[in-house]
Structure 1
Amino acid sequence: MSSSAKIVLRKKPNAKGLYPIAIRITKYRRSTYKQLGHYIDLDDWDEKNIKVKKSHPNAKSLNSLISSKIAEVRKSLIELQNESKDASARQIKTEIYKPTSSLTFFDYAKEHIKALEAEGKINRKYTDSAWLSFIKRFYKTEQLTFQEIDERFLGKLKVFLKGKSALTETSTMNVMVFIRLIYNRAIKDKVASKELYPFGNGKFKIKFPETIKIGLTQNEIKKCETVQNLSKVERHSLNVWLFSFYFAGMRVSDVLFTRWSQIVDGRFNYRMGKNSKLLSLKIPQKALQLIEQYQSEKRFDDDFIFPEMKKADVENAKDVYNKIKVATKKFNDNLKVITEKAKIKKKVTMHIARHSFGNIAGDSIHPLMLQKLYRHSDLKTTIKYQANFIHKEADDALDSVLNF
């Protein structure tokens, strides 16, 4: 059966109520579409003559574009037929719009990882390298082109990751996010075709499973603050955890990089490592009393408050990453012992300091202020995060029905 190509106005309006002009490629009664990137009002489309009406201000230029694009596609279809290629509509689209660059997905991914190392983002480098290794294990070679990454490829990869590789749903979705990142960069550089992009509406969807975030209560925080019979290393681990909690769940890397020079007139001024956001906060009395324990170890005005970074080569990103990684494991191991002594049954890690602040804050703090305290770039992120700890309305609703 011969294939065909036709200009159509797709009946899927955008947010402004305008409709996309597209080329419909059909084979074996199955169709796929290539949008031309232009949207018009339904009243400006001449369905009978398949063109933009003169009522549209750019009718002449749009009709010229339509003529040239449909001619290109039909020419490509003839060439494919001359080559005796029997392909589906989607395969024809892939063949027509395949990029001219020979760069593969792995070429781009390696460039991305080298860039992370150059920028000193070692933690991200190791994480993304791990995701890349799973993709290579699945595909077995590094000759993976972008046009091969379609919905079917992603579906099979997902089965491999959750099955043979035994990854969780969250880790599987992180692999997909990595692929999407690399694909978007390739599109930007015109190495991959936007027409073949496999993500989005009607295509492969990246959806993370909902997780339950559990933090400590006020009473449990008090138990941590007053727990006795701790060794010196346990006390230090607890101090680092509490310092993080007192500042709305600071990331452990930011805590360990805290310097005495950042403490000015009772305020803590620091730049968050993850997104370089500047923040100035009043130092709670509890935090002041905590850092006074380290005053005797201060060597100079710009010295680190906590000892972990004192021997680190701060110009060497790998050394910093390794020292933070080792310190975090030590803290988490000690926190397990500390919570047992404090008779707290919940699992507590460094990251739980952030969940604990969110749990106690509940809905008592305005989201805009929480956004500042959490150092989130987007208010939506704050609202979504804090929703994990706001249960009062649901609890009251349940009680209103069952309390009889």
Structure 2
Amino acid sequence: MQDASTNIIIDTRRALKDGTFPVKLRVTYQRKQKYYPTGINLTIEDFEKMNSSRPGREFKGVKLKLEAQEQEAAQIISKLQSFSFEDFEKRIQRDGLPNEVFSAFDEAIARFRKAGRSATADNYMSARNSLRGFVSGKAYASRKGKTKTEIKALLQEEEENTLPLPFSRVTPGFLENYEEWMSREGRSATTVGIYLRPLRALFNEAIASGDVSQEQYPFGKRKYQIPAGVNVKKALGLGDIQKIFDYVPVTESEARGRDMWMFSYLCSGMNVKDMARLKYSQLTDGSITFIRSKTTRSTRHRQKSITVPLMPDAVEIIARWGKKPVVPESYIFPVLTAGLSPEEELAKVKQATKTINKYIKRIAAALGIEKDVTTYTARHSFSTVLKRSGVSTAFISEALGHSSEKTTQHYLDSFEDETKRQHLTNLTAFKK
């Protein structure tokens, strides 16, 4: 009887978003072939370099890893009394080769970090850890009150004790149970959505590369639908914004925090990361032009720049807090410095956001503003104030840098009660 054979190939049927192709282990038995992911993606050129007689230091480690996986697969085959793809696949999962959900998460996290997308990598890591906690039966409550070292040890324990999670096990029922578990642990529907979107993306990648069949896809109508969460209204009314604008800061830190919040509000709801990345060279003819960092790696839509005419108050904020001397390639605000790694830049932006939020919350409390005011509130307030002023959704959508007006609708707050009341008086206008 012919034995099953193995080979490492590059699957060029469909490219991934970064232009690479998945490298796979091909198993052939009685003229039937099946392909198994290795967790490695390469361009065709790099795959050829790796397979050359002198792969070089860059690809030597990759080649050794792939050879080890092929050797392990061959050993599994040799130990089977009679070969079947079903028995082979069971052994692969048990032996921990990357053909399951957690391995797919790990590969994606490593890919995002290499591409400098630290925030996305952190998001995937949080999603992976949450799913691992669910599968292992560990409760979120067990992490509360622990130090970073203790949490790291707990996560390590979960990793060691959690069985592999094949994509085939993630069914609509599995996802419903996960959502219930998250709810019992006090996590919101919004958090569930944030953690399940990366899993959905991994499913789509696995289907696109042929590793998972479309029939196994657990998301969508008549299956499992990711909760959208509650749309909490985040915008401030014009009256509250005026209070913040007129507020007399007690300290320099308060003044800086208030001004950074106002700059965001005045400049199309610009987020802190984009503010931190602004350079003097982007200032021309009384306007500032930038591309949202959130869309700089987008392949779905053509990247478009946003041009914001600078209001006099925004110009004054730059004059007060901008770096001196004015150098074209210098960052305007003193948040980032040249040469930072993606992880270091992310940490700086997070700290700046935390600081702004600290002082704007303090100011809001002093002014008697009951809403939870954050940097995110500035973006929602920008769009909502314009909408209430009669500005078209199309204009607001362009100012926010959205790809469609549908996205913009999520940012538009409900009209203030007083505005509603004024409109409703028209119902009894005949009484006049």
Considering the TM-score relative to the shorter chain, is it more than 0.5? yes
Residue 300 in structure 1 maps to residue 321 in structure 2:
no
Taking a change above 3 Å as real, the CA distance of residues 274 and 202 of structure 1, as seen in their structure-2 partners, is same
Q: CA deviation at 1:239?
A: 1.2
Residue 386 in structure 1 maps to residue 386 in structure 2:
no
| Among candidates 372, 375, 393, match of residue 398 of structure 2 | 372
Gaps of 5+ in 2: 1-89, 91-96, 137-161, 297-303
Q: State the alpha-carbon separation in 2 of the partners of residues 343 and 162 from structure 1.
A: 33
Taking a change above 3 Å as real, the CA distance of residues 256 and 173 of structure 1, as seen in their structure-2 partners, is same
Taking a change above 3 Å as real, the CA distance of residues 362 and 293 of structure 1, as seen in their structure-2 partners, is same
TM-score (norm 2): 0.65
Q: State the alpha-carbon separation in 1 of the partners of residues 355 and 343 from structure 2.
A: 18
Alignment-derived partner of residue 14 in structure 1? none
Alignment-derived partner of residue 4 in structure 1? none
Q: State the alpha-carbon separation in 1 of the partners of residues 102 and 377 from structure 2.
A: 36
Alignment-derived partner of residue 51 in structure 2? none
Alignment-derived partner of residue 336 in structure 2? 309
Q: State the alpha-carbon separation in 2 of the partners of residues 107 and 390 from structure 1.
A: 49
Instruction: Note if contact 2:380-2:411 (Cα within 8 Å) is conserved in structure 1.
Output: no
Taking a change above 3 Å as real, the CA distance of residues 377 and 389 of structure 1, as seen in their structure-2 partners, is farther
Deviations 1:310-334 (A, max 9, x none): 4x643x0010011111111111111
Instruction: Note if contact 2:321-2:333 (Cα within 8 Å) is conserved in structure 1.
Output: yes
Taking a change above 3 Å as real, the CA distance of residues 264 and 102 of structure 1, as seen in their structure-2 partners, is closer
Q: CA deviation at 1:358?
A: 2.2
| Among candidates 159, 167, 172, match of residue 180 of structure 2 | 159
Q: State the alpha-carbon separation in 2 of the partners of residues 291 and 187 from structure 1.
A: 49
Alignment-derived partner of residue 372 in structure 2? 347
Secondary structure of residue in 1 paired with 2:290? strand
Alignment-derived partner of residue 286 in structure 1? 313
Secondary structure of residue in 2 paired with 1:307? coil
Deviations 1:219-257 (A, max 9, x none): 222222221143111111111111100012111111111
Q: State the alpha-carbon separation in 1 of the partners of residues 260 and 411 from structure 2.
A: 23
Secondary structure of residue in 1 paired with 2:222? coil
Alignment-derived partner of residue 350 in structure 2? 325
| Among candidates 119, 126, 129, match of residue 125 of structure 2 | 129
Deviations 1:51-71 (A, max 9, x none): xxxxxxxxxxxxxxxxxxxxx
Alignment-derived partner of residue 387 in structure 2? 362
Deviations 1:40-84 (A, max 9, x none): xxxxxxxxxxxxxxxxxxxxxxxxxxxxxxxxxxxxxxxxxxxxx
Q: CA deviation at 1:397?
A: 7.0
Deviates more, 1:111-120 or 1:291-300: 291-300
Secondary structure of residue in 2 paired with 1:303? coil
Q: State the alpha-carbon separation in 2 of the partners of residues 349 and 204 from structure 1.
A: 33
Alignment-derived partner of residue 106 in structure 1? 102
Q: CA deviation at 1:299?
A: 5.2
Residue 179 in structure 1 maps to residue 204 in structure 2:
no
Instruction: Note if contact 2:265-2:382 (Cα within 8 Å) is conserved in structure 1.
Output: yes
Q: CA deviation at 1:147?
A: 1.1
Alignment-derived partner of residue 18 in structure 1? none
Residue identity matched to 2:407: T
Secondary structure of residue in 1 paired with 2:221? coil
Instruction: Note if contact 1:362-1:390 (Cα within 8 Å) is conserved in structure 2.
Output: no
Q: CA deviation at 1:166?
A: 2.3
Q: Which has the larger radius of gyration?
A: 1
Deviations 1:108-138 (A, max 9, x none): 1111111211121212211221111011112
Q: CA deviation at 1:176?
A: 2.3
| Among candidates 230, 247, 272, match of residue 210 of structure 1 | 230
Instruction: Note if contact 2:193-2:229 (Cα within 8 Å) is conserved in structure 1.
Output: no
Alignment-derived partner of residue 201 in structure 1? 221
Alignment-derived partner of residue 140 in structure 2? none
Alignment-derived partner of residue 113 in structure 2? 117
TM-score (norm 1): 0.69
Deviates more, 1:378-387 or 1:144-153: 378-387
Q: State the alpha-carbon separation in 1 of the partners of residues 368 and 336 from structure 2.
A: 31
Aligned positions of 1:67-146 closer than 5 A: 103-140=99-136, 141-146=162-167
| Among candidates 226, 229, 239, match of residue 219 of structure 1 | 239
Q: State the alpha-carbon separation in 1 of the partners of residues 134 and 377 from structure 2.
A: 34
Taking a change above 3 Å as real, the CA distance of residues 130 and 296 of structure 1, as seen in their structure-2 partners, is closer
Residue identity matched to 1:215: A
Q: CA deviation at 1:354?
A: 0.9
Q: CA deviation at 1:379?
A: 2.1
Residue identity matched to 2:354: K
Taking a change above 3 Å as real, the CA distance of residues 297 and 229 of structure 1, as seen in their structure-2 partners, is same
Taking a change above 3 Å as real, the CA distance of residues 239 and 142 of structure 1, as seen in their structure-2 partners, is farther
Taking a change above 3 Å as real, the CA distance of residues 392 and 293 of structure 1, as seen in their structure-2 partners, is same
Identity %: 24
